[in-house]
Structure 1
Amino acid sequence: MPTVDIDTDELRELTGHGEKSDDDLRDDLFELGLEYEGETEEGELRFEFEPDRLDRLSVEGVARSLRYQYGDDWGVYVPKTNGADWTIHVEDVPEERPYVTGAVVRGLDLDDASLDSLIQLQEKLHATMGRKRAKGAIGVHDLTMLKGGEAADDGEGKSVRYTGIDRDGDTFVPLEGDAEMTPGEVLAEHHIGEEYADLVAEYDRVPAIYDSIGLFSFPPVVNGRRTEVSTDSRDLFIEMTGTDQWTIDHMLSIVCYALDARGGTIEDVRVEYEDAPEEYRDSLLRPDFSTKTKTVAHDRIERTLGIDLQGEDVIDLLERSGLDGESTETDGSPAYDVTIPPYRVDVLHPVDVIDDVGRAYGFNNLDPRYPAVGTIGGRHERARLEEAVRTVLVGLGFQDLLNFHLTSAEELHDRMGIEPGVDALGGGDPVEIRNPYSEDYTVVRTWLLPSIMQVLENNTHRRYPQDLAEVGFVAQRDDGANTGVAEARHVAGALARHDVSYEDAKARLQALVADFDAELETPPTAHPSFIDGRAAAVEIDGDAVGVIGEVHPAVLVEHDLELPVVAFEFDLAALQ
């Protein structure tokens, strides 16, 4: 969960409620969904909040929410912007990072606290919406240190240029640096460059932003020292680059709203894409403070919250949430067209609007009541079966495991000696992860035994015997299923010791199945992961549901195991 560090003196000043004690503020923020986590070393209060409310990543955003809660502000507020004097020309940019946006903010009076808040907001937006700068990165510059080129043929306004350059191209002095460096040298030698080098590792050319003096920003890695912002800065130039225009535009809105709360005047920046792909617009005016609208039915609000409300009450609660509401109808029933401000990136569904109405009403003011159902809660039948099977396995001497559901295709197939698509346990087509975080976790496992073999591999330094078992989730692609995926729970066990044999595994399996009053048969079969002639199918009550046998020596060698292993695996549903 994201956190925000708040100077309560700053919060009192921004809300205009100097009479509020720290305890009062903690209580008020709790009603907004911010939970107190303790104090920082600097004496600030740390709060944890819902990860969707990214507009509360700064004290300015938290203060805005409190002012609505206190009734000081009502409805949607959109800052006024002055006309564009600056233009960002986009030309020959790296295709991996084609988008840019920007704004100018003038007339700020920054002190240490407000500058720290801006830096905190920047870094927390990087970590959340910006996906650690991979999706969007923010650069904030002292405008007075920029020298713009001509923005247009008529010479009106000033411009900067967003482009791509070679790693060993132009030089600049990076933040926290003293010497001129090329982008390549920054990535190799500068501590910030080393931290974010992976972001541009696959780029043929790296992003760069120039004014008429030269290179002043190397996004998404580091800004130049020439335009560094300090408490002496009064006018700021903000640029954001990324892989998605929507993301950086909304990150910019959140930053601009925070600086507006500090008394800054927002000024448009024109973004002009040259030789743009079809999906680009030729010219953009930013920041984009356009609002959006959601239609919410009146009866849905009442049913969700369990209260009766008049139409004027709903509109009042919406305005106290920083939204605007206008009465309308949907399918002949009362409803509201709700206007959403640009910094509210969390409002994606009517339920999000209803949540705001509930918070403005006060969840503590709702009368608790039992659901109108004729049943009481209890554990799912499958969960009870899983627990019963685990209990029996532990009684049989197994150590219960809980492994990750995700693994790699190599672990599932290659290291187990089984080809994908083979008509055998574990040979199913795995569900692939579209954007895997790691090469080790690219698919959902189709069977449990590879996970157990990894545990044995990682514990060769421990004493034997090692008897391991797991009851867990598996899945494989199935075009016949509604979701395209067939899910199941399997039971698997493995015994590793110097004198183990097929009979040891079968004895444990027989005891397990008998405990659930089921009939077990083990006719001979073949499976690539097991020794030929030492493997059998697991048939429970006449249905083939798994496999048992002595693990093939090639699989043992692949897992650096020097002792024999016997194992079994079958579908948990067979014991129901």
Structure 2
Amino acid sequence: MPTIGVEKEDFLRRTGIAKSVTQLELEHLFFDLGLELDDIEEENGKTIFKVDIPANRYDILCIEGLCRAINIFNNKTPDKYTLEGSPFEKIIVEESTAAVRPIVMGAVLRNVTFTEASYESFIDLQDKLHQNLARQRTLSSIGTHDLDTVKGPFRYVARKPEDIKFVALKQEKEMSAPQLLEMYEKDSFMKQYVPIIKEKERYPLILDSNETICSLPPIINGEHSKITLATKNVLIEVTGTDWAKTNIVLDTMVTMFSEYCAVPFKIEPVEVEYYSGKKEITPSLKYWEECVDPEYIRRQIGLPQDVTAETMAKLLSRMGLVSSYIRYENEKIISRIPPTRHDILHPCDIMEDVAVAYDFNKLVMTMPPTNTVAKQLPINKLCDLLRVDVAAAGFCEALTFALVSRADIGEKMGFDKLPAEAVTVSNPKTAEFQVCRTGLLPGLLKTTQANRKLPLPLKLFEVSDVVLKDNSTHTGCRNERHMSALCYSNTSGFEVIHGLLDRVMELLEVPPCEAGSADGYYIKKGSSPTYFQVCADIYLWNEKVGQMGVIHPNTLKAFDLPNPVSAFEINLEPFL
């Protein structure tokens, strides 16, 4: 949940709230709007309200949007955002950008008057959108330019890194693109964005008609067109890989800061001309209507019968969704959604706004109309019973991370490449958490490595989920419950692991049987780069469910384990 800081005097001036307001009254005000006053701090002699904002409310990530929402909640008429006239500026997109960052949109704010506070808010909103909606600039990134320092039409191109040279923002000398990325890799803030384009053959650029480089998305803007307090005309360009996110980012930027234009809330569009001949006018600033059944809202929230459909429509209007109640064959509430409310995706979002405006504290607690008796999932019950008996056999339970590095399930386990069934994290925070684990054994080996100085033998086990790709599910992956155990000692301890497997099968009432039989379980010689020559496949009812054996010396070396290890891992799902 993002947190924004708003200066008290500016906040009270914009909302018309009395200066004598108490902290308790502010807490109630924010709560009524579905927000939370997290703290009140003193910074440089100013009182700052720290307000927690829901992650999907991009329109109140700055003081402009927050105060606007509060004023509307207090029955002020919402402002109307409009596009003014035909596009005076154009962005021409070259085909070379398709392989790097194919989407670009733009808008112009004319005759803007910035103060120090509004300028800081302008920059801060960009940062919050980059971190939140734009996923650290991977989906979209914002570039802002002093339009009076550059000349259109603008071109969106992609060039080889060695052919790019310009003076980047806050720099004094001209540098090539590789030099810039090398410098930013050492910067604590900028280094997170460098990998987005570093390995690309070409880097995207925004150029003006004089070939002046305005920005190198998504890394940095140019010093030549930087925004200052004296800037009057602002060009906002947003590039990205996701059209919807790029559109939301641009709509949010222009609706929030068009209030500083000479004619408030008037935005000048920009024409984007693609290499295919397609032309697009941006921003969209789309108003749309959503139709909701008031009985659906009443049923989902639990509103009393005296809250009429007309009352619901008024509550929605206080949330910025101008609504009317229409009566015909089927009673409906029609809500007009402004371009600031991209969080409204479904009637349930409108229902939520009714609940917020009505006040959650007023809802009467009721018992559910149906009675059910809860019980454990069969797989969880089985695992809980199994854990007790495995611990009784002398093994200590471990709980390891579900996310691991690529090397943990690939190179270290003896494989040439990442397993095909591995689910990868698209934007990992650290190298330790890049993929979802496909087995429990790597985590147990890491746990053993961290505790190798303890007295031997170390006998560990884990019963938990692994994640595997599965195109038959709507998410493209599925969880699978596994059990793994290992013995780390001065000798291989294979007989210990084999004995534990037999004990587990006994507990599960699965008898041993001859190889090839479907009457129980058996082991059969197998092979795996993870295990040494002593390796066996484990079969249940003639279907392979796991492997066991002595860990290969190369795997031991990769996990920095000087002593031998024996281990097994089985899939528990077939036992149900």
**Range of TM-score over shorter length:** 0.7 to 0.9
Is the contact made by 2:206 and 2:216 (CA closer than 8 Å) also made in structure 1? yes
Decide whether aligned partners of structure 1 residues 231 and 441 sit closer, same or farther in structure 2, where only a CA change above 3 A counts: closer
Report how far residue 247 of structure 1 moved: 2.1
Counting only pairs closer than 5 Å after superposition, residues 89-168 of structure 1 correspond to structure 2 as 89-92=91-94, 93-95=96-98, 96-144=100-148, 146-149=149-152, 159-168=153-162
Structure 1 gaps, min length 5: 150-158, 421-426
Aligned partner of 1:371 in structure 2 is: 368
Cα shift readout 1:166-212 (whole Å, capped 9, x = no counterpart): 43446443221122334343333465776633222133332223335
CA distance in 2, matches of 1:66, 1:436: 35
Note if 1:178 corresponds to 2:172. yes
Decide whether aligned partners of structure 1 residues 176 and 568 sit closer, same or farther in structure 2, where only a CA change above 3 A counts: same
Q: 1:304 aligns with which of 272, 275, 300?
A: 300
Aligned partner of 2:456 in structure 1 is: 464
Is the contact made by 1:163 and 1:208 (CA closer than 8 Å) also made in structure 2? yes
Cα shift readout 1:407-457 (whole Å, capped 9, x = no counterpart): 57875577556899xxxxxx9972544847488767654442343234335
CA distance in 2, matches of 1:536, 1:136: 48
Aligned partner of 2:518 in structure 1 is: none
SS at match of 1:94: helix
CA distance in 2, matches of 1:45, 1:163: 43
Report how far residue 7 of structure 1 moved: 1.6
Aligned partner of 1:25 in structure 2 is: 26
Aligned partner of 1:294 in structure 2 is: 290
Shifted more, 495-504 versus 476-485: the winner is: 476-485
Aligned partner of 1:497 in structure 2 is: 489
Cα shift readout 1:504-561 (whole Å, capped 9, x = no counterpart): 22444455566x5735536442232456667474769x99855544445565455443
Decide whether aligned partners of structure 1 residues 26 and 489 sit closer, same or farther in structure 2, where only a CA change above 3 A counts: same
Note if 1:525 corresponds to 2:524. yes
Is the contact made by 2:441 and 2:569 (CA closer than 8 Å) also made in structure 1? yes
CA distance in 1, matches of 2:253, 2:468: 44
Counting only pairs closer than 5 Å after superposition, residues 383-462 of structure 1 correspond to structure 2 as 383-406=380-403, 412=409, 416=413, 430=421, 432-433=423-424, 435=426, 437=428, 444-457=436-449, 460=452
SS at match of 1:226: coil
Is the contact made by 1:538 and 1:570 (CA closer than 8 Å) also made in structure 2? no
Decide whether aligned partners of structure 1 residues 276 and 544 sit closer, same or farther in structure 2, where only a CA change above 3 A counts: closer
Decide whether aligned partners of structure 1 residues 571 and 167 sit closer, same or farther in structure 2, where only a CA change above 3 A counts: closer
**One-letter code of the match for 2:112?**
L
Note if 1:270 corresponds to 2:270. yes
Report how far residue 323 of structure 1 moved: 0.9
CA distance in 2, matches of 1:455, 1:127: 33
**One-letter code of the match for 2:490?**
H
Aligned partner of 1:234 in structure 2 is: 232
Decide whether aligned partners of structure 1 residues 212 and 486 sit closer, same or farther in structure 2, where only a CA change above 3 A counts: closer
Is the contact made by 1:103 and 1:237 (CA closer than 8 Å) also made in structure 2? yes
Decide whether aligned partners of structure 1 residues 520 and 487 sit closer, same or farther in structure 2, where only a CA change above 3 A counts: farther
Cα shift readout 1:327-374 (whole Å, capped 9, x = no counterpart): 5699x6433333221122211121111111111111111111121222
CA distance in 2, matches of 1:481, 1:237: 44
Aligned partner of 1:55 in structure 2 is: 59
Decide whether aligned partners of structure 1 residues 469 and 40 sit closer, same or farther in structure 2, where only a CA change above 3 A counts: farther
Aligned partner of 1:152 in structure 2 is: none
Note if 1:66 corresponds to 2:64. no
SS at match of 1:33: coil
CA distance in 1, matches of 2:226, 2:574: 67
SS at match of 2:230: coil
CA distance in 1, matches of 2:199, 2:456: 46
Cα shift readout 1:56-80 (whole Å, capped 9, x = no counterpart): 2111111122122222235xx4323
Aligned-residue identity in percent: 26
Cα shift readout 1:358-403 (whole Å, capped 9, x = no counterpart): 1111111111112122235565454344334334434443332223
Shifted more, 438-447 versus 234-243: the winner is: 438-447
SS at match of 1:44: strand
Decide whether aligned partners of structure 1 residues 61 and 482 sit closer, same or farther in structure 2, where only a CA change above 3 A counts: closer
Counting only pairs closer than 5 Å after superposition, residues 473-488 of structure 1 correspond to structure 2 as 473-476=465-468, 487-488=479-480
Report how far residue 472 of structure 1 moved: 0.7
**One-letter code of the match for 2:298?**
E
Is the contact made by 1:268 and 1:285 (CA closer than 8 Å) also made in structure 2? no
CA distance in 2, matches of 1:124, 1:523: 57
SS at match of 2:238: strand
Aligned partner of 2:314 in structure 1 is: 316
SS at match of 2:161: coil
**One-letter code of the match for 2:97?**
P
Report how far residue 494 of structure 1 moved: 0.8
**One-letter code of the match for 1:363?**
F
TM-score (structure 2 length as normaliser): 0.83
Aligned partner of 2:181 in structure 1 is: 187
CA distance in 1, matches of 2:182, 2:473: 50
Report how far residue 41 of structure 1 moved: 6.3
CA distance in 1, matches of 2:471, 2:127: 44
Decide whether aligned partners of structure 1 residues 40 and 172 sit closer, same or farther in structure 2, where only a CA change above 3 A counts: farther
CA distance in 2, matches of 1:482, 1:100: 31
Is the contact made by 1:94 and 1:203 (CA closer than 8 Å) also made in structure 2? no
Aligned partner of 1:87 in structure 2 is: 89
Report how far residue 503 of structure 1 moved: 2.8
Shifted more, 505-514 versus 531-540: the winner is: 531-540
Report how far residue 215 of structure 1 moved: 2.6
SS at match of 1:238: strand
Report how far residue 44 of structure 1 moved: 2.0
Decide whether aligned partners of structure 1 residues 100 and 478 sit closer, same or farther in structure 2, where only a CA change above 3 A counts: closer
**One-letter code of the match for 1:569?**
E
CA distance in 2, matches of 1:165, 1:171: 11
Report how far residue 124 of structure 1 moved: 0.6
SS at match of 1:473: strand
Decide whether aligned partners of structure 1 residues 403 and 292 sit closer, same or farther in structure 2, where only a CA change above 3 A counts: farther
**One-letter code of the match for 2:440?**
L
- For this pair of structures, how many residues does the alignment match? 551
Decide whether aligned partners of structure 1 residues 81 and 439 sit closer, same or farther in structure 2, where only a CA change above 3 A counts: same
